[in-house]
């Protein structure tokens, strides 16, 4: 059971009376780490995580329960479920280099006995699994990240840019999740320590050139999304920090000297790893 830390910024209740954090959880992008952090920060009663089919959907919840939700998260596409909340959405998403993500998910599904995708492709060796994914239209292929962020079956690049720049309050890379959680800490005035969750077992999986080319060809937009976010994430995080500092003034004044302080502090603690030739998928 994850417990909330205290004391919370007193402006938080007022903030969440008007706004709803909506996390588009793209699998294997450090989303579990982010959700775990925000659950410790806000308290479990304020988080509605729709990953489990047993969790009631927002439409099924009584209004008083919906009002207690501060963070809505799950593997749903942009815009889903939001209409059941009479609040402005503040959308968040993490994205990941597609090959790293593919390998991470493959290992995760392969090792997870209960994962619904296991019987569909993960019993196969990776090259065959990739072809199987493409054949049946399942798994992290065919620009799944772009489709999830735009809510479109066949998004154009302009749809993706619009989603990143306008629809989402922040999109950043999986390796910057610590920067994002540090920013939440600072703005909500609670020092919850970072804790990586749902990391896979260490290990390297090689991917042959032909399979790699196939992945690149069928995920061109996701590659482009990742590069775009990686190039722009300092600005995107800064913009998100400004939004929070403007709408959470008490925490902004108390917890951070400048708007960029939490980002800078987190940046100093970590550096973004570069994709390697072998595509070692350590963790998450």
In whole angstroms, the minimum distance from the beta carbon of 190 to other proteins comes to 20
In whole angstroms, the minimum distance from the beta carbon of 112 to other proteins comes to 28
Nearer to other proteins, 199 or 224 (CB): 224
The stretch among 57-65, 78-86, 202-210, 224-232 that binds other proteins (CB under 8 A) is 224-232
Question: What are the phi and psi torsion angles at 66 (to 5°)?
Answer: -60, -40
Applying the rule CB under 8 A, the residues between 150 and 209 that interact with other proteins are 156-158, 160-162, 165-166, 169
Nearer to other proteins, 275 or 283 (CB): 275
Nearer to other proteins, 136 or 264 (CB): 264
Applying the rule CB under 8 A, the residues between 3 and 32 that interact with other proteins are 14-15, 18-19
Would you count residue 142 as binding other proteins (CB under 8 A)?
no
Partners of 95 in beta bridges: 173
CA-to-CA distance for 230 and 95, rounded, in angstroms? 9
Cβ atoms within 10 Å of 222's Cβ, excluding its own: 30
Taking CB under 8 A as the criterion, the residue among 128, 135, 195, 227 binding other proteins is 227
User: Cβ distance 90 to 19 under 8 Å?
Assistant: yes
Q: Detail the DSSP E strand segments found in the chain.
A: 19-24, 47-49, 71-74, 88-95, 170-173
DSSP 32-67: HHHHHHHHHHH-GGGEEETTSTTSPPGGGS-HHHHH
Applying the rule CB under 8 A, the residues between 55 and 114 that interact with other proteins are 88, 90, 98
Residue 83 tokens read as 């209409």
Nearer to other proteins, 60 or 231 (CB): 231
Residue 27 is classified by DSSP as T
CA-to-CA distance for 234 and 111, rounded, in angstroms? 34
Nearer to other proteins, 19 or 70 (CB): 19
In whole angstroms, the minimum distance from the beta carbon of 221 to other proteins comes to 9
Would you count residue 216 as binding other proteins (CB under 8 A)?
yes
> Which positions ≥6 away from 278 have C-beta within 8 Å?
204, 205, 206
In whole angstroms, the minimum distance from the beta carbon of 164 to other proteins comes to 8
> Which positions ≥6 away from 160 have C-beta within 8 Å?
146, 149, 150, 221, 224, 225, 228
CA-to-CA distance for 207 and 93, rounded, in angstroms? 27
Taking CB under 8 A as the criterion, the residue among 147, 179, 228, 229 binding other proteins is 228
Over the window 231 to 260, marking each residue x when it contacts other proteins by CB under 8 A and - when it does not, the resulting string is xx--x--xx--xx--xx-------------
Q: Please report, as ranges, the residues that interact with other proteins according to CB under 8 A.
A: 14-15, 18-19, 88, 90, 98, 156-158, 160-162, 165-166, 169, 216, 220, 223-224, 227-228, 231-232, 235, 238-239, 242-243, 246-247
């Amino acid at each position: 059971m994850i417990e909330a830390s205290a004391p919370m910024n007193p402006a938080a209740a007022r903030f969440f009376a008007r706004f709803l954090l909506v996390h588009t959880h793209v699998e294997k992008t450090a989303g579990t780490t982010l959700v775990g952090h925000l659950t410790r920060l806000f308290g479990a009663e304020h988080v509605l995580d729709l990953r489990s089919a047993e969790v009631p959907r927002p439409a099924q919840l009584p209004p008083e329960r919906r009002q207690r939700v501060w963070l809505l998260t799950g593997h749903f596409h942009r815009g889903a479920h939001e209409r059941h909340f009479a609040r402005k959405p503040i959308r968040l998403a993490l994205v990941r280099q597609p090959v790293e993500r593919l390998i991470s998910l493959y290992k995760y599904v392969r090792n997870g006995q209960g994962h619904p995708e296991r019987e569909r492709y993960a019993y196969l060796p990776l090259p065959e699994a990739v072809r199987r994914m493409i054949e049946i239209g399942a798994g992290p292929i065919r620009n799944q990240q772009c489709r999830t962020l735009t809510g479109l079956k066949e998004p154009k690049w302009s749809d993706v840019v619009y989603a990143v720049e306008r629809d989402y309050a922040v999109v950043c890379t999986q390796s910057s999740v610590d920067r994002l959680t540090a920013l939440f800490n600072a703005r909500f005035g609670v020092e919850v320590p970072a804790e990586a969750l749902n990391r896979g077992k260490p290990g390297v999986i090689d991917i042959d050139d032909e399979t790699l080319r196939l992945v690149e060809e069928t995920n061109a937009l996701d590659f482009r999304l990742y590069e775009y976010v990686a190039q722009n994430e300092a600005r995107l995080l800064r913009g998100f920090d400004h939004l929070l500092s403007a709408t959470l003034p008490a925490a902004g004044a108390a917890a951070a000297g400048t708007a960029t302080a939490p980002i800078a502090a987190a940046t100093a603690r970590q550096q973004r790893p570069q994709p390697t030739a072998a595509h070692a998928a350590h963790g998450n």
